[in-house]
Structure 1
Amino acid sequence: MPMPVKDWNFETSNRLLWEHRKLMHDGLQAKAERDFSKLNSDQKYAYTVIIDSVLNDTGKVFFLNDPAGTGKMFVYNTIVAKIRSEGQIVVMVASSGIASLLLTGDRTAHSTFKIPFDVMDDTVCGFKKNSNHAELFRKTKLIVWDEVPMQHRFCIEAVDRSLQDIMENNKPFGGITVVLGGDFKQTLPVVPKGTREQIVGASLRNLNLWSQVEVLSLVKNMRLDSSDPENIKFAEYLIKVYFLIKSFIQFDFINFFNKLYILILYFQVGTNPEEKVQVPENFTRCKDAMELISKVYPDLNVKEKLTQQYLEERSILSARNDDVSALNGSTINLFLGELYEFLAADKVIEEDIEVENRGNQIASENLNSLDLPSLPRFNLQLKIGCPIMLLRNLQPRDGLCNGTRLMVVSCGTRVIEAKILNGSHAGDLVFIPRISLIPTVTETPFPMARRQFPVRLAFAMIINKSQGQSVRYVGIDLRNPVFSHGQLYVAFSRCTSSDRISVLLPNDNDNTTTNVVYPEVLL
């Protein structure tokens, strides 16, 4: 047999480096040049300054301010194709599982940087100087981190602290060029039972190195068809939702006094975090939940139409978990097929061994009745072909992230076979086992575990979970109005066209809804 010509032990000794080198291929240079010619002026400027920082090793930190539909993902991919065509390693991550599925590599920030779940102001990441992760980051030229404004600032500071340590460099992120992307108009970090001050304090704007971040902005909305007057009007409406001023766009910016008047009016209105906004007339108004379901999911009783594409391009959004559970329950009853029921096994985790029979103090019926957002339901009801959402990071590199949407293919006693609906792994068949899940300490007054399939029905989802994805048909349940910054903007901007949005408002409503904006976090 011929002798090997490569040192394969060296090539495969670090699995993480090997995975990133697999992303480099001969066609990247041509792809980068082709995509660069399609960029608009704002996108080209962002591309140029980021590439310049990487190639000259200046180690700058950028924030790409990218409102919904401005083509940030296209800019990311063009930049990454150029850097990888030069043989350099790029690490791409996102703050949420759904957003990570749109990136090459399908990784969340927590899984890539080993960020602890409970972060403090002095937290460091969970990798050591001599680990494979440290070796990967030493060879990394660019880090792209998408949807950062929804991440707690302690997470970014932990990564900065750890990279400075392993690189032995006091520059931000150890001298690696970093692109933080996102939109401050969208949802902020979730602080359980947190006040407005705590939520604002956890946002990226209060990052300890924010003064060293160079802000790049994308303005033109590429998602909405600019040839359609209704879509142009909808894009302007999204800006009004952002600024809380219904007549903001009508002022003349050339006149200095008008500028001053707008500024004063903005801060007068902006200090009030809640403002009623008019729902656009071209949105389809629904009378009840069943009509909303039928508008977004028509022909649920026609088996031939229930395809992967049908489920992929539809979603119902709501601000509250209870409303989402009710919508999913109503929709699964309309869905064709045999109903499969999976019962979980709940138990209390005994922490204090000196307390006898602690588990007996809490009846199993009480545990079974708990419907916590981070856990699957005790009585999980599924049908073949229905959409589900994964609740844990099972295998991020294979597309199984927290938030991944899948379609059920078959149901077994110990495993569910499903097909991934979105991301670079769309269409892949995967198996989901039963696992033991533990809720966060803030959700229950006592530690417990639930053994169940880590999935929930995904006909409807909460607005926060939908951030980072776009669909063709959106239904928005506003019977209970939004309650945190950016939720309304995220809900309205998930659809690629304004005439495919259906809304459900209270029966006695005058076609208005509450908008919540914290002006102090906006750029």
Structure 2
Amino acid sequence: MVGCYTSGIASLLLPNGRTAHSRFKIPLNIIENFVCNIKPGSPQAILLLKAKLIIWDEAPMVSRYCYEALDKCLGDIIRCSLTYNKDLPLGEKVVVLGGDFRQIFSVILRGSRQDIVHSTVNSSYLWKFCQVLKLTKNMRLSVGMTALDQDETEEFGEWLLKVGDSLIGDNMDARTILAPTLDIVEEVNNHLMAIIPGGEKLYLSSYSICMDEGNVESQLDLYGSELLNSINCFGLPPHKLILKVGIPVMLLRNIDQSSGLCKGTRLQVRKLGNHVIEYEVLTGNNVGHIALIPRMNMVSTNETVPVRFQRRQFLIIVSFSMIINKSQGQTLFHVGLYLPKLVFTHGQLYVALSRVKSKRGLKVLLMNHVKMSANSTINIIYREVFEKIIF
């Protein structure tokens, strides 16, 4: 069996769990007709050749091109087999895709609604080979549920499904830790950092232009340090990183999977050194593990950045708050949802509201939006995605 998750933090839920991109060597910036970087005869190819079952969780969250890349790769690996049937997909393997189409889909940079819907797995040529099976029990809500909580929990579960199907609205007051965009998350983090007692330490990054950009000297003249240091985009640590002992942070890249140090892992700062920082792991199976992490190099892959450059910095961000997309796959005891701006894509509101086990663990703070009535917000659902799926 081969098991994998779409998100890094979710992969920590399985012993020796891996992300799909790591396990199948799928390119990060994938487009149509890309293939997995697995060579026939390699250990990775031998593992896939022997596998009888592949389990891939959070399937709707990843682009259809990832599954199609795996289909082409498995076809190449198994093509030499005497029993190979080219009319069957995914190398004739049994593949179980888990996930909820009410949740957030793959992020398409500057993509329209049509682009996002087209990228989902049920828009792939592979979908005609899929059999849809329904899970009807919300396991997140049932864990630790008492007889006294049963009615309230069942009511909350039904309400969440109606939110996910865009069949209901509700009014709530509150405060927050989840937000729809990075700028709002940064605003919350900066506010909480300012009121936390203790001395702070500033870490500045260094940078270099990637050598594959051709004439490096002309690039340096065109893009100076002031511009490159000001770039702050998703997945890249900031140039100015301000930390205090005791604050929570989140890893931006996989560092040591065996120790639970994966992308999305939350840590608590214990000691601030000049060259390394000591952390305690707060999530996953390695809770309480102490880790020393140095500065590392990270190359920007964001298409909106005008030049590819390498930033050397601690691969973390302050994490009092996080974006809704990053919370997908996690179960939390208490969630506050802060919406000074409206959610902007399919499933965001549903994901944020469904991170908790009960309605009592959920608080929402809504700002007054233009043309919106008091105590209400928009819920974006792409109903056409549900056309081939019967809930």
TM-score (norm. length: structure 2): 0.90
Aligned CA distance change for structure 1 residues 206 and 245 (closer, same or farther; 3 Å): same
Alpha-carbon offset, residue 351 of structure 1: 4.9
- Decide which of 246, 265, 271 is 1:410's aligned counterpart: 271
Q: Deviations over 1:410-434 (max 9, x none)?
A: 2222222212222222222222221
Alpha-carbon offset, residue 106 of structure 1: 2.8
Q: SS in structure 1 opposite 2:139?
A: coil
Matched to 2:224, the amino acid is A
> Equivalents in 1 of 2:195, 2:216: separation in Å?
48
Q: SS in structure 1 opposite 2:3?
A: strand
- Decide which of 47, 63, 69 is 1:158's aligned counterpart: 69
Number of the residue aligned with 2:191 = 330
Alpha-carbon offset, residue 203 of structure 1: 0.6
- Larger mean CA deviation between 185-194 and 223-232 belongs to 223-232
Alpha-carbon offset, residue 469 of structure 1: 0.4
> Equivalents in 2 of 1:332, 1:451: separation in Å?
23
> Equivalents in 2 of 1:128, 1:398: separation in Å?
28
Matched to 1:204, the amino acid is V
Number of the residue aligned with 1:445 = 306
- Decide which of 242, 245, 263 is 2:167's aligned counterpart: 245
> Equivalents in 2 of 1:500, 1:520: separation in Å?
32
Number of the residue aligned with 2:380 = 516
Q: Deviations over 1:152-188 (max 9, x none)?
A: 1111111121112212233322122211110000000
- Larger mean CA deviation between 332-341 and 494-503 belongs to 332-341
> Equivalents in 2 of 1:176, 1:335: separation in Å?
53
Q: Deviations over 1:407-458 (max 9, x none)?
A: 2222222222212222222222222221121222413122222111110011
2:206·2:312 contact (CA, 8 Å) conserved in 1?
yes
Q: SS in structure 2 opposite 1:329?
A: helix
Matched to 2:119, the amino acid is A
1:407·1:419 contact (CA, 8 Å) conserved in 2?
yes
> Equivalents in 1 of 2:44, 2:210: separation in Å?
33
TM-score (norm. length: structure 1): 0.68
Number of the residue aligned with 1:144 = 55
Number of the residue aligned with 2:16 = 105
Number of the residue aligned with 2:130 = 213
Number of the residue aligned with 1:383 = 244
Structure 2 counterparts to residues 66-215 of structure 1, below 5 A: 90-168=1-79, 169=84, 170=86, 171-215=88-132
> Equivalents in 2 of 1:114, 1:360: separation in Å?
36
Structure 1 residue ranges without an equivalent (≥5): 1-89, 247-276, 287-291, 294-315
Number of the residue aligned with 2:336 = 475
> Equivalents in 2 of 1:116, 1:222: separation in Å?
33
Which structure dedicates a bigger proportion of its chain to helix? 1
Structure 2 residue ranges without an equivalent (≥5): none
Q: Deviations over 1:124-163 (max 9, x none)?
A: 1111111111111222222111101100111111112111
1:375·1:437 contact (CA, 8 Å) conserved in 2?
yes
- Decide which of 238, 254, 278 is 1:393's aligned counterpart: 254
Aligned CA distance change for structure 1 residues 474 and 431 (closer, same or farther; 3 Å): same
Q: Deviations over 1:325-346 (max 9, x none)?
A: 1111111222233312111113
Q: SS in structure 1 opposite 2:77?
A: helix
1:331·1:459 contact (CA, 8 Å) conserved in 2?
yes
Alpha-carbon offset, residue 222 of structure 1: 3.1
Aligned CA distance change for structure 1 residues 164 and 353 (closer, same or farther; 3 Å): closer
Aligned CA distance change for structure 1 residues 355 and 220 (closer, same or farther; 3 Å): closer
1:141·1:177 contact (CA, 8 Å) conserved in 2?
yes
> Equivalents in 2 of 1:510, 1:498: separation in Å?
20
Q: SS in structure 1 opposite 2:228?
A: helix
1:328·1:457 contact (CA, 8 Å) conserved in 2?
yes
Number of the residue aligned with 1:346 = 207
Alpha-carbon offset, residue 361 of structure 1: 2.6
Number of the residue aligned with 1:38 = none
Number of the residue aligned with 1:427 = 288
Alpha-carbon offset, residue 350 of structure 1: 5.6
